[in-house]
Structure 1
């Protein structure tokens, strides 16, 4: 498992140091302390992992769904029993406050439960043939080797979005966790080892973008499942899209909106908007734009700003904290740059806690990556970068609109992204119009635009994605469908009225 206190890769059922000599550290973003040290993977480790994944595929594929799922049930029980313990690890490594850390683990065992339980559900479809003597149906087959590349903000949940379904469906896996959260990756790999999964079926290579690129580029990988930034995801999709027979399902970022109509319950609206700051805005589904009708705008703004100005930022292990730190120094720089950009674009700043009061930072956490909420109001029609580019932090714009729900949806759709969104209204006609016309993959009524359930598809449209690398829809990316027709007659009868007679030159 370790050599000289340095954690290794998990390849072919063994803990492997690999050929690379470089190491990297997992850091607590709230304190700056080093949590653990890890081997940095190279192309050699990726090559080894892909080789064994390819070699073991046929044996794994030939097991029944039920037998494959049994390994996942072992992990399900361990995740559930260790939710509090692992939730604390998540919080220490990625900085989300403790209730969110535990929720991350809970979402993981929900996903494993769904995937393992699905093993006993019907697979494929029986279809009526045009010919009475024929049986027609569809069967699924695993694609082969699945490469999984996952982000740091849900370091336990999202890996199981990808891997649980891929494995139950009969694929083998090579996984690269995010370099910011390798400790969570280590624990997940230990769970697979403890579950006794056959050697080579599950493999983990720690490392950075070069290791991920080696997975994406390799011809032995049949499907790539990616969750992360739009920039990287589009590169993945463009590479894979040009290779015949290879698939990619990518869930990427968003510039998400909450629409608050003139018929909204403002108690719901304000609460839903404040929830935008969960995970310190570092969710792909966090709302960075609040589109509010002019009739309720002033009251909404007053109530929202009052709460945001006082929301608790601090030690993520403290249950009284609402927002923890950002993930790393580079992200503090990015969020700060966008806050400064908003000011240069002459928005009206309502809350600016970019630099926290030193008294807000808990003792012993001075080296953490702290940024508080930033809220401003802007012209809904202005082509501002701050209102159209994803920040991935606690950066939120209020956009006032007049007119009807059609106008609100017009403003809503005026971004390059289309991941998540919500509408707050007591008028079902407004909700239905939003439902039918908002350009999003995940939509909510009278809710925040976070909190997806694992058995629903998760992905977006436009710049936000080209697939759904989780739950039911990911099955499409990790399996092939075979249309099968069986003739039960002694005669050959063809569809569309075609004759089965063979004519010769003498006919």
Structure 2
């Protein structure tokens, strides 16, 4: 059995060095596949540690801003190469720390490499436009100014991709960064930070401070010298971030929850729809903000779809994500497991019919982990709790619809609007769905969980602060437009 004394402790990264926190307190990161294994220890930092990081980032911001975009891009290319060389090690750490399968972890880490290279290239793109002036003797154009110091608060479910898709654009556009990763994935974040350290970015440009949300997260929200905050997490915490940033005039970007539907029309390819529903809803143990949660099926094909879906769900192999052939790993923590189980109980209490799953694994190799069976509910009313609230676990709710119009109405009848998909061969149904679906990402004949790094990503309604991440859209948050008027 691993103990806190025989595993590595990862320090904060501040001003170009690995620094022990001002408090001696550390916290072990537990392997959700085996709660007896401590993957690593991380600092439980204090406000003093955060202040040191902010001071370093503030000191570094002018020189970093003064580099050309190409020079900043060269640093990101170096980080990408180092991350790629460590891909298997970081992916294995991710699997051990938060539970997703090793192939998924490798794919996510490779995506981090691609994101770094994409934004490295952004350093050579235009950052403004020439605008005709009413004065014929003047030149007027726009440029982009970085925010300054950016606080990055990231969740545990994508411990490589999300930190990188926030840090890379922040850096290429001339900002310095302080990241506070989720405690449950802080060891993986530290290994990513090692890649930045080895690339020798100037001191203070990138900093990492680990610790609790109530101390370090709140400290980032409140700090007067942090000019922008980018956050991904729950809608409840996101609103606190937004309110705190607004109160002191800091710019903020929030990506929050989803209750994502897939619509299965009567003319759909049912086998394709089943495969995509399972992949979108249950891969990564359902722990994606874009995961399929509600499955709205036309009445004419409901029974056939349900039969095919249940048969495929029963074939899913659950276990340690490092083992060959395992398709679904554990929930990321005991707390998350308990949350999922509580929603399953709520579904049964409110009258939904449990078709498959619904239990915690308590036998065999899974007995020491936070495993829950992939779960499907039938006879779900759209107003039930399991159809309205984000579960963040491997739970699918089947809902009947009599028409495409009713299906879209049901799909929109939640407070979230992150992603949605439809399966149909009818072009008019596709067009109606694209026009009428209140979601920031809509997909046709594909799972709800697909996100591409070069395209804008974000939600509508309470899924987001209405900004967009990734792609060239990222420049809108991480910079401010400066209009320049020049007359000789």
The bucket for the TM-score relative to the shorter chain is over 0.9
Partners of 1:228 and 1:458 in 2: how far apart? 15
Partners of 1:194 and 1:140 in 2: how far apart? 29
1:348–1:377 contact (8 Å) kept in structure 2: yes
Q: Which secondary structure does the structure 1 equivalent of 2:447 belong to? A: coil
Query: Which residue is equivalent to 1:394?
Result: 394
1:12–1:49 contact (8 Å) kept in structure 2: yes
- Give how far 1:477 is off: 1.3
Partners of 1:419 and 1:213 in 2: how far apart? 25
Query: Which residue is equivalent to 2:378?
Result: 377
Query: Which residue is equivalent to 2:244?
Result: 239
- Give how far 1:304 is off: 0.3
Is the aligned partner of 1:165 residue 2:164?
Answer: no
Query: Which residue is equivalent to 1:197?
Result: 201
Is the aligned partner of 1:256 residue 2:255?
Answer: no
- Give how far 1:216 is off: 1.2
1:148–1:163 contact (8 Å) kept in structure 2: yes
Query: Which residue is equivalent to 1:28?
Result: 31
Q: Which secondary structure does the structure 1 equivalent of 2:385 belong to? A: coil
Please give the per-residue CA displacement for 1:372-431, whole angstroms capped at 9, x wherever unaligned: 1111123445x211210111001110001002x222110000001111111111112111
Structure 2 residue aligned with 1:125, among 110, 126, 129?
Answer: 129
Structure number with greater Rg is: 1
Query: Which residue is equivalent to 2:319?
Result: 314
Alignment of 1:423-442 (within 5 A): 423-442=422-441
Query: Which residue is equivalent to 2:355?
Result: 350
Is the aligned partner of 1:288 residue 2:300?
Answer: no
Structure 2 residue aligned with 1:115, among 95, 112, 119?
Answer: 119
- Give how far 1:124 is off: 1.2
Query: Which residue is equivalent to 2:15?
Result: 12
Is the aligned partner of 1:216 residue 2:221?
Answer: yes
- Give how far 1:51 is off: 0.9
Partners of 1:451 and 1:81 in 2: how far apart? 26
1:270–1:304 contact (8 Å) kept in structure 2: yes
Query: Which residue is equivalent to 1:498?
Result: none
Please give the per-residue CA displacement for 1:184-240, whole angstroms capped at 9, x wherever unaligned: 121122111110101111111011112111011101111101011111111101111
- Give how far 1:242 is off: 2.6
- Give how far 1:95 is off: 0.3
- Give how far 1:64 is off: 0.7
Please give the per-residue CA displacement for 1:137-196, whole angstroms capped at 9, x wherever unaligned: 210011100000111111011110110110111100011111001111211221111101
1:9–1:17 contact (8 Å) kept in structure 2: yes
Partners of 2:168 and 2:380 in 1: how far apart? 44
2:80–2:116 contact (8 Å) kept in structure 1: yes
Partners of 1:242 and 1:465 in 2: how far apart? 18
Query: Which residue is equivalent to 2:448?
Result: 449
Query: Which residue is equivalent to 2:94?
Result: 90
Q: Which secondary structure does the structure 2 equivalent of 1:350 belong to? A: strand
Query: Which residue is equivalent to 1:477?
Result: 477
Q: Which secondary structure does the structure 1 equivalent of 2:245 belong to? A: helix
Query: Which residue is equivalent to 1:501?
Result: none
- Give how far 1:127 is off: 2.4
Query: Which residue is equivalent to 1:366?
Result: 367
Partners of 1:328 and 1:11 in 2: how far apart? 28
Query: Which residue is equivalent to 2:341?
Result: 336
Q: Which secondary structure does the structure 1 equivalent of 2:127 belong to? A: coil
Alignment of 1:15-94 (within 5 A): 15-32=18-35, 33-94=37-98
User: 1:78 and 1:4, CA in 2 relative to 1: closer, same or farther beyond 3 A?
Assistant: closer
Alignment root-mean-square deviation, CA: 1.6
Structure 2 residue aligned with 1:141, among 121, 139, 145?
Answer: 145
- Give how far 1:3 is off: 12
- Give how far 1:78 is off: 1.6
- Give how far 1:5 is off: 4.4
Q: Which secondary structure does the structure 1 equivalent of 2:183 belong to? A: coil
Please give the per-residue CA displacement for 1:47-79, whole angstroms capped at 9, x wherever unaligned: 110011111111111111111111111111122
Unaligned runs of 5+ residues in structure 1 are 489-507
Partners of 2:137 and 2:355 in 1: how far apart? 72
Please give the per-residue CA displacement for 1:442-490, whole angstroms capped at 9, x wherever unaligned: 11111001121111112111111102243322211111101122336xx
Partners of 2:367 and 2:386 in 1: how far apart? 29
1:225–1:469 contact (8 Å) kept in structure 2: no
Partners of 2:380 and 2:211 in 1: how far apart? 43
Partners of 1:4 and 1:390 in 2: how far apart? 35
Partners of 1:71 and 1:345 in 2: how far apart? 54
Query: Which residue is equivalent to 1:226?
Result: 231
Partners of 2:406 and 2:375 in 1: how far apart? 26
- Give how far 1:133 is off: 3.5
Q: Structure 1 stretch 127-136 or stretch 339-348: which is displaced more? A: 127-136
Unaligned runs of 5+ residues in structure 2 are none
Scaled by the length of structure 1, what TM-score is found? 0.92
